[in-house]
Amino acid sequence: MLFRQKEVLVLLKKYSISFPKTTIIKTISDIDNFRYPAVLKIDSPEVVHKSDLGLVIFVRNSSDTKQQLKLLENKLKKYDIKDYRFILQKKVEGQEIIVGMKRDPIFGPAILFGLGGVFVEVLKDYSIRIAPLSKKDCLDMINEIKGKKLLSGFRNFPGVNKEKIIALLLKISRLAMNEKDIMEIDFNPVMINKNAEVVDARIIKKDA
């Protein structure tokens, strides 16, 4: 069963995992009072990968948001998606990474780390450890990937604070060990800037 956005935010807060300001749109005032630029997207248990369906849109102001809402509603009708809500999220910048977890029936929760985007999707550049993780495990995971140079600073890629990545890996490890009904976690992307902010989260729990 896929977590709804409200459930995701409650879980992230519980484990002190940072995320950008996020609002579930209920009235026009939610749109008008939001601090832009932002990202407009849907929250639906019927959709696993929102970006693949064009259901994540960058918006610059409230007028832009209202226009894009109509376009999104048409897309949802086209895909016959009926159970959904609209979300506004503050746009953040940083180095993209992916952090995830999948619960293996034998070994338990396996934690994944990699660079975001093409690095993990096409190049399969990631590392995995079985929870619980130590700080050394986290550092080894960072140093194992082929794209590790990008985290230290390379050409157009500024270096990042690896301690923020380590802290996030330890938090997802603790979450996985405590929340045994959660089967999968996909934090993708996570933006590393002054913090490690989870921009999009997909969490699947065991069916009741």
Query: How many whole angstroms separate alpha carbon 59 and alpha carbon 43?
Result: 17
Query: How many whole angstroms separate alpha carbon 167 and alpha carbon 113?
Result: 13
Residue 14 DSSP one-character state: H
Residue 195 DSSP one-character state: S
Identical fold at 21-90 and 95-205? no
What is the per-residue pLDDT across 46-89, written as a single tens digit (0 to 9) for each? 887 788 788 899 999 999 999 999 999 999 999 899 999 999 99
What is the structure's pLDDT at 158? 67
What is the structure's pLDDT at 53? 81
Please check whether the domain covering 95-205 is classified as CATH 3.40.50.1370: no
- Packing angle of the helix pair 162-178, 135-144 (nearest 10 deg): 120
What is the structure's pLDDT at 99? 97
pTM recorded for the entire structure: 0.91
Low-confidence ranges of the chain (pLDDT < 50): none
CATH of domain 21-90: 3.30.1490.20
The answer to whether the CB of 197 falls within 8 A of the CB of 42 is: no
Query: How many whole angstroms separate alpha carbon 125 and alpha carbon 82?
Result: 36
What is the structure's pLDDT at 118? 65
Name the nearest CA neighbour of 188 among 121, 124, 108, 88: 121
Q: What does the chain come to in residues?
A: 208
- Exposure of 10 by Cβ count < 10 A (0-12 exposed, 13-18 middle, 19+ buried)? exposed
Structural domain boundaries in the chain: 21-90, 95-205
**Cα angle vertex 195, ends 176, 145, to 5°?**
65
